[in-house]
């Protein structure tokens, strides 16, 4: 399934190609460790993802027509899911980011091992990123 982002497609293929749920989790946790620290000034309600059990912040900025993302979460697996989206949507135009179909999440095979609240949180993070992308384009 093509998402419209080469980086996201690559990560989806990597996850989909792993039948072992533990290895998928390890990959997501590895992505979390690579996420840059979020500056303190972005840890406020404007950037907080609603509907997540854990604290999640995501910040999109538009520079030269492309999106650049930062974020953080206090839960390791959620931070990894956030990192997957940040890495996957980095450098896209707002139009490309807005057009990503959340159906790609099913292709990763992750929701089989995510709690319903985490899976919902993953969708909420994507939704917030797409909403910020639309606002930045306006």
Exposed/middle/buried for residue 68 (C-beta within 10 Å: 0-12, 13-18, 19+): middle
Known catalytic residue at 52:
yes
Eight-class DSSP state of 48: B
Domain locations in the chain as residue ranges: 6-17+48-137
For residues 109-133, average pLDDT? 90
Give the separation between CA 68 and CA 15, rounded to whole angstroms: 23
Q: Is the dihedral of CA 83, 84, 87, 91 positive or negative?
A: negative
Please write the tens of the pLDDT for every residue from 53-67. Answer: 889 999 999 999 999
Q: Which residue has the higher pLDDT, 106 or 83?
A: 83
Q: Which of 11, 12, 52, 56 is catalytic?
A: 52
User: 1 pLDDT band (50/70/90 cuts)?
Assistant: low
User: 100 pLDDT band (50/70/90 cuts)?
Assistant: very high
pLDDT of residue 46: 95
Give the separation between CA 11 and CA 14, rounded to whole angstroms: 5
CATH 2.60.40.10 correct for 6-17+48-137:
no
Eight-class DSSP state of 53: S
């Amino acid at each position: 399934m093509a998402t419209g982002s080469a980086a996201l497609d690559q990560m989806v293929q990597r996850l989909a190609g792993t039948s072992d749920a533990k290895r998928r989790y390890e990959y997501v946790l590895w992505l979390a460790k690579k996420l840059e620290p979020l500056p303190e000034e972005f840890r406020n309600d404007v950037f907080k993802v609603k509907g997540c059990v854990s604290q999640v912040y995501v910040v999109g900025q538009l520079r030269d027509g492309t999106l650049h993302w930062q974020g953080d979460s206090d839960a390791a697996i959620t931070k990894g899911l956030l990192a997957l989206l940040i890495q996957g949507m980095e450098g896209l135009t707002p139009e490309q980011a807005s057009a990503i179909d959340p159906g790609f999440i099913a292709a990763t095979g992750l929701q089989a091992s995510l709690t319903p609240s985490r899976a919902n949180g993953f969708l909420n993070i994507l939704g917030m990123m797409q909403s910020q992308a639309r606002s930045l384009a306006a």
